Structure 1
Amino acid sequence: MWPVIMGFARTYAVYITWPVAAVVGVIGYNFETIVRKDKNTPWKTKSIQEERDERKLKDLEETKDVTEVDSLKAKTFVPKTILGRNG
């Protein structure tokens, strides 16, 4: 009997799982709309790229002068131990 059931399930797996997935999706969608506090999804007025560009410009304005760099002889950019390296 089990081989017949497994053969049927293997043959018609798409026809069995698709309606189950659709029902679970509809229930989840409706549950999320009930649980969600604000009913309207807030849309961004600026794109992610514009926000990133503004943030980078703000960071550049707040930082010190980029022409003043540390001495290369001091080697402050080299980690003191092998554990501090990145790769």
Structure 2
Amino acid sequence: MNQILIRVVSRYAPIITFPVAVILGFIGYSFETAITDKKTPYLENSIEDQREKRFMNNPESEYHTNIPKNIFERNDPKNLK
């Protein structure tokens, strides 16, 4: 009897587990949505646009003045403190 039960369960396991997983996932998603009320705020400008504006408004910033001319100046040990 046990061998027949094991064969039936092993044969139909994917058919049984997928709907169970979908139902449990839906319940968990609904529960999490009900508990947490986190909303992502809408940005008027993208982060890249905000960064570009900030750098353009302040041209004397460290970013504009210390741009290395080549790769060897990027990690110059003389400039490290």
With the length of structure 1 as denominator, give the TM-score of the two structures: 0.50
Structure 1 residue 55 and structure 2 residue 55: aligned?
no
Tell me the CA shift for residue 69 of structure 1.
Answer: 5.5
Point out where structure 1 has 5 or more consecutive residues left out of the alignment: 80-87
State how far apart, in whole Å, the 2-side matches of 1:66 and 1:16 are: 62
State how far apart, in whole Å, the 1-side matches of 2:9 and 2:36 are: 37
Cα pair distance change 1:43/1:64, threshold 3 Å = closer
Match of 1:44 in 2: 42
Could you list the structure 1 runs, at least 4 aligned residues long, displaced by more than 6 angstroms after superposition.
none
AA aligned to 2:26 is V
State how far apart, in whole Å, the 2-side matches of 1:21 and 1:59 are: 49
Point out where structure 2 has 5 or more consecutive residues left out of the alignment: none
1:4-83 to structure 2, matched below 5 A, reads 4-37=4-37, 41-42=39-40, 44-46=42-44, 50-59=46-55, 61-62=57-58, 63-64=61-62, 66=64, 77-78=75-76
- Which has the bigger relative contact order, CA under 8 A and spacing at least 6? 2
Higher helix share: 2
Cα pair distance change 1:61/1:8, threshold 3 Å = farther
Q: Which secondary structure does the structure 2 equivalent of 1:66 belong to? A: helix
With the length of structure 2 as denominator, give the TM-score of the two structures: 0.52
- RMSD of aligned alpha carbons: 3.7
State how far apart, in whole Å, the 2-side matches of 1:26 and 1:76 are: 51
Percent identical residues: 26
State how far apart, in whole Å, the 2-side matches of 1:60 and 1:3 are: 75
